[in-house]
Structure 1
Amino acid sequence: MSIREIPAAAVTDAVEALCIEANTSLPVDVKAALDAAEAAEPWPLAKETLGLLQQNLCVAKEKNLPICQDTGMACVFIELGQDVHIDGDLNAAVNEGVRRGYEKAYLRKSITADPLQRVNTGDNTPAFLTVHLVPGSGCKITVAPKGAGSENMSRLAMLKPADGVEGVKKFVLDTVEQAGANP
């Protein structure tokens, strides 16, 4: 068995490109699901909203702009083969890729390094990095931007198993009601 060497610079380059792609291109399957949802939607307001999303996608593609203004936190998922050695600092390579990608594509930089200090880092780092060791000599990198606007009205609860599906529905409806007209 031989160990595959991957330069940290290659990880940086890949993360940079993926940050841009993830914020400016919608995967084909997601676009197809939106098309199907709009075509099948019976409620006029919901159908109009889906239509506006479609218009936004067209404008973003035409002008090479982000799909959403909230380009959020760069969540980077790496499936790293057990027979791979990254030549350099993986964490630093990922953060440099995020820094470059967000700068190059003029993406919104909205991350704080310390949630209590609330000081924007100005370059959208640190990234949220998850690494899974897998068999083999591959290295698969996925970037998924996570917008944080929805977090403003989030809630967390622990339901009892006996609450079942009805308990989940009640929790969701109560949460929406508490948020009110402040989406």
Structure 2
Amino acid sequence: MKTVSAKDIRDAVAAMCIAANRELPADVRASFEAAHAAEDAPAAKEIFRQLLENADLARDTGLPLCQDCGLGVFFVEVGEDVRVEGSTLREAINDGMIAGYKDGYLRKSSCDPFTRKNTGDNSPAIIHFDIVPGDKLKILMMAKGGGSENMSRVTMLSPAQGWKGIKDFVVGRVAEAGPNPCPPTIVGIGIGGNFELAAVNSKKALMRELDDRHSDPEIAKLEDELMAAINALGIGPMGLGGKTTSLAVKIIVAPCHLASLPLAVNIQCHSARHKEVTF
């Protein structure tokens, strides 16, 4: 049995929240650089120049990549042989998120859905737990902003709609979203499972590296097909036109009920802010 200190978890989560909001992931930056070189439209090329400059300024000044520092979303893989000492794991993660947003001077965006009164500390953290074999504790953190989240959707297709129905819905959703999620975007897709699992998987898919090819060659082909269709829309960075509407499409597939075809589309903005830590 491995024991992990709640204080260590809290400190690591706080550091992750700050770093995620200040440091553009290396794979995203590389995609910006490639798109900047590939774009022919002057407006699109200029947007990518500005995005790269913004990333440099955030890194050098310690200011956030975006003023919307998002809600703290966590995917936690808990080994069956791990014990947390000092508090519960949920408390340690939530306390760490609160500390990170406070100490990093990050905008707090969590509010009551009816009164719209701000909770004041970005709590509660949104945490998805998964029990796995072993004695490792892995925490993945995402700062998910409101603009991109508002453009995300879950639907229940009929089984007969199949891949054509999936593709039409995904591409149509990106087209309808237009410039609102601050493209270039990353599109996470959950196919199968049930209503809530499809939604969770669509967001979890966004944690994959942009150059991570799906392990199933057939699913990888579907990701490529969707990517080509989305970029053919011509929305472009910030909706000003161009070749690059999305940087990647990532799919997670799960078995579903024979009467259903659940589908979720979760759109991530260009500030694809995420970090991870393993104990």
Residue matched to 1:92: 91
> Is 2:17–2:141's contact at 8 Å kept on the other side of the alignment?
yes
- AA matched with 2:64: P
2:46 alignment partner, one of 45, 48, 53: 48
Q: For 1:138 and 1:69, locate their aligned partners in 2 and report how far apart those are by CA, in whole Å.
A: 34
**More RCO (CA 8 Å, sep 6+):** 1
Residue matched to 2:116: 118
Q: What pairs up with 1:144-163 in 2 under 5 angstroms?
A: 144-160=142-158, 163=161
Q: Deviation of residue 117 (structure 1)?
A: 3.7
Secondary structure of 1:103's counterpart equals helix
RMSD of the TM alignment (CA)? 2.4
- AA matched with 1:103: K
Q: Deviation of residue 96 (structure 1)?
A: 0.8
Secondary structure of 1:106's counterpart equals coil
**Which runs of 5 or more residues in structure 1 are unaligned?**
none
Secondary structure of 2:120's counterpart equals coil
Q: Deviation of residue 83 (structure 1)?
A: 0.6
**Structure 1 residue 73 and structure 2 residue 71: aligned?**
yes
- AA matched with 1:94: I
> Is 2:147–2:180's contact at 8 Å kept on the other side of the alignment?
no
**Structure 1 residue 62 and structure 2 residue 49: aligned?**
no
> CA 1:156–1:43 in structure 2 vs 1: closer, same or farther (change >3 Å)?
farther
More helix by share: 1
Secondary structure of 1:35's counterpart equals helix
Q: Percent identity?
A: 48
**Structure 1 residue 12 and structure 2 residue 1: aligned?**
no
> Is 2:148–2:180's contact at 8 Å kept on the other side of the alignment?
no
Secondary structure of 2:64's counterpart equals coil
- AA matched with 2:126: F
Q: Scaled by the length of structure 2, what TM-score is found?
A: 0.57
Q: For 1:153 and 1:13, locate their aligned partners in 2 and report how far apart those are by CA, in whole Å.
A: 32
